[in-house]
Amino acid sequence: MAISPYNRKFAIAVATGWIIWASLGYRLLADFGAGSLAALSDSMLSNALLFGGCFLISNNMRYYLPGKEKYWYVLLLGVIVTLLWMTMLRLSLPFLLSDDKQYVAEFYASLSIRMAVGFLVITSSTLLSLIWYTQQQEQDQAARKQETDQAARDAELLQLQNRLQPHFLFNSLNSVSALTISDPGKARDMIEQLSAFLRGSLQKEHRQWSTLEEELDYLRLYMGIEKVRFGYRLQTEINCDESTLQMRLPNTILQPVVENAIKFGLYDTLGEVCIRLTAQNSNGFLQIEVSNPFDQVTAVPRKGAGFGLASVRRRLFLLFARQDLLQTEMTDTLFITRILIPQI
Amino acid sequence: MKALIIDDEPLARDIIREYLTSHPSIEVMQECSDGFEGIKAIQQHQPDLIFLDIQMPKINGFEMLELAEYVPKVIFATAFDEYAVKAFEAHAVDYLLKPFSRQRFDAAVQKLMAEGPSREQVPAAMEAAAKSPDQSNRIVVKDGGKIRIIPITQVQYLEAADDYIKIHTADGSFLKKKTMQFFEETLSAAQFIRIHRSYIVNANLITRIDPYEKEGHLALLTTGARLPVSKAGYARLRDALGI
């Protein structure tokens, strides 16, 4: 149901309209020689009934808006209510003022012009309410659509953010299991790191933004765990301008990028792998580059497995409405992922 | 009993070695950190048993077995691999889900020593697991003493040759012991089309299809190769190319 236009302001406007309309009617009747009592009662009563009819129609539209045949509906309703109004006038005024013979004669003589005016007023008010309620309905729909869109977007963002790789989790637990035998102290450290990492990915659920400094702390945890898993094979290097540390970026957006780089680097090459992350302020954008070594020959089939990067790109698009914020580049031996974060 | 441990994570190898201390009859000949080392070690040590991780650098555990000289008894260990686990379960191959307990490990070893997956079970599981996205993106072959990973996009066409399949690429052709049916099932049907009993072609390379003898056709590739197209193959080709 649409929002009703009936409030104090509206009531005052209607009352004013009624008074103006009634005074005009009074003036008209007086001009045609009706007595003041007759002119007054006629104009007040007929206009009250007319406005009542209009109110009836508009109230009716509040619950039912015609769909397809709206113009026929307006016309039909106008005719019916006009006839109803005329009947009521004919049944009331001549009897109320039956003493005034001249008035009664004039009343019957003016029926057609009364009908024309009444029809005009009623149909225009019908049209007005039709427009009002249609607009209300559209606004309602637009608001609802926006709400559902927002909800869907939030859900998608949350899902993109919370993607935790089961492979990573179980392999890390397996490493902990191994360390409990060979190095219990290190096992304890690893459990602590893993817990901090998991807590981070759970806690930040509802936070959309963090600073680069926070993000790097989170990344170091992640890289630390991966280093325990892969031992000497995995090296990491982080280089950031001091000025970038307080710049903002979508929460946990870098972790899938680094995860992709580590996976790509480790599974596409043999031997040692160095993952480099650099951050700099580039014309007010936070620019982050993550690079990993790769093998040109076998890299092609791996391209499809870039779900991590696809989800990052999708998230950047949902947040900034731009498709060009994540770019990848391949040199002879390095695969580079470059992300630009607008600072808004 | 001679054994190998093949896993790219050092700690994952440690735990197997540790659990094996209570099985003195099993002697670990070597630990390998990737499939290439694994293939060499299998050749060198002729093990009876291998402990094998699935996800490893360059080639995965299944691909390593495809290339190995022979398939010993295998205990697979994986952290999370839906395709692999489905394949194991479908073919009654025992496997360990990381992290695993000593009891679970002991049970797997005992079961294997008692009976062990027969020669057919492991290869069947390998075939099933080859439908994973990883393996439908590439084909690994032996090229002399070396191992070559062929991205699927570089395959021009496949040709049946007795028990082998000849894989034709711009760098030459390579043999692999598989069936046409296997490739027909694993390769993307949109890109690779079985045009003949003995040929599967990369549809992107077809430039022309000419009538040939009665009811037959010839497909001409951008590389200049001419391949026979059977009647059924022509129907499939028309379907795929939308003509």
Q: Are residues B94 and B197 in the same domain?
A: no
Residue B43, burial from CB neighbour count under 10 angstroms (0-12, 13-18, 19+): exposed
Contacts of A301 in chain B (CB under 8 A): 137-138, 149, 151-153
The pLDDT profile of chain B, 243 residues, written as one tens digit per residue, is: 899 999 999 999 999 999 999 999 999 999 999 999 999 999 999 999 999 999 899 888 989 998 888 888 899 999 988 888 888 887 878 899 999 999 999 999 998 888 766 667 888 888 888 777 777 788 889 888 788 889 888 999 999 998 899 999 998 999 998 889 888 888 887 789 999 999 999 999 999 888 888 778 999 999 999 999 998 899 888 888 887
- One domain for residues A208 and A60: no
Any idea how long chain B is?
Answer: 243
What per-residue confidence (pLDDT) applies to B189? 78
- The domain total for chain A is 2
> Which of A152, A182, A200 is the last residue in one of the domains?
A152
Give the structural domain span for A37: 8-152
A328 beta partners:
A337
pLDDT (0 to 100) of residue A172 = 94
Whether B114 and B140 map to the same domain: the answer is no
Measured distance CA(A187)–CA(B137) in Å, rounded: 37
Does ipTM surpass 0.90 in this model? Answer: no
Packing angle of the helix pair A36-63, A70-96 (nearest 10 deg): 150
Query: Are residues A141 and A222 located together in one domain of the fold?
Result: no
Q: How many domains does chain B have?
A: 2
Instruction: Quote the pLDDT of residue B29.
Output: 96
Give DSSP secondary structure letters for A9-36.
Answer: HHHHHHHHHHHHHHHHHHHHHHHTT--H
Residue A1 lies in a domain: no
Whole-number pLDDT of residue A93: 85
Where b means 16+ CB within 10 Å and e means fewer, B119-137 reads eebbbbbbbbbbebebbbb
Same domain, A130 and A56: yes
Query: Of B129, B160, B180, which residue sits at a domain end?
Result: B129
Of B129, B154, B179, the last residue of a domain is B129
User: What confidence score (pLDDT) does residue A305 get?
Assistant: 43
Answer with the one of A152, A185, A201 that is the final residue of a domain: A152
Q: Judge whether A246 lies within some domain.
A: yes
Helices (H), B55-101: 61-67, 82-90
Query: Does the residue A2 lie in any domain?
Result: no
- The ranges of chain A with pLDDT < 70 are 1-6, 159-163, 203-206, 299-307
Phi and psi at residue A294, to the nearest 5°: -155, 170
Instruction: Say which CATH number the domain at A223 has.
Output: 3.30.565.10
Beta strands A285-293 and A273-282 are: antiparallel
CA distance B77 to chain A (A): 11
Say whether both A135 and A272 belong to one domain.
Answer: no
Distance set, CA A28 to CA A25, A32, A87, A114, B5 (Å): 5, 6, 21, 12, 109
- Which CATH number is B157's domain given? 2.40.50.1020
Same domain, B168 and B185: yes
Q: Does A1 touch chain B (CB under 8 A)?
A: no
Q: Residue by residue, what is the 3-state secondary structure of B152-210? A: HHHEEEEEEECCEEEEEECCEEEEECCCHHHHHHHCCCCCEEEEECCEEEEHHHEEEEE
Of the partner residues B14, B79, B134, the one whose CB lies closest to the CB of residue A167 = B79
Q: What is the pLDDT of residue A1?
A: 41
Please check whether residues B41 and B152 belong to one and the same domain: no
Same-domain pairing of B237 and B151? yes
Question: Would you call A238 helix, strand, or coil by DSSP?
Answer: strand
The chain B residues in contact with chain A (CB within 8 A) are 8-12, 14-15, 18, 33-34, 36, 55-58, 79-81, 97-100, 133-134, 137-138, 149, 151-154
Cβ separation A270–B153 shorter than 8 A: no
Q: A240 is written with which tokens?
A: 């950031």
Domain around B40:
2-129
Q: A207 with A147, same domain?
A: no
**Partners of B208 in the β-ladder:** B220
User: CATH no. for residue B39?
Assistant: 3.40.50.2300
- The span from the CA of A27 to the CA of B240, in Å, is 85
**Same domain for B208 and B100:** no
Query: Do B122 and B162 reside in the same domain of the chain?
Result: no
Residue B114 pLDDT: 84
**Contact, B10 vs A231, CB < 8 A?**
yes
Same domain, B9 and B77: yes
Which of residues B104, B129, B154 is at a domain's end?
A: B129
pLDDT for res A162? 64
Is A55 in the same domain as A195? no
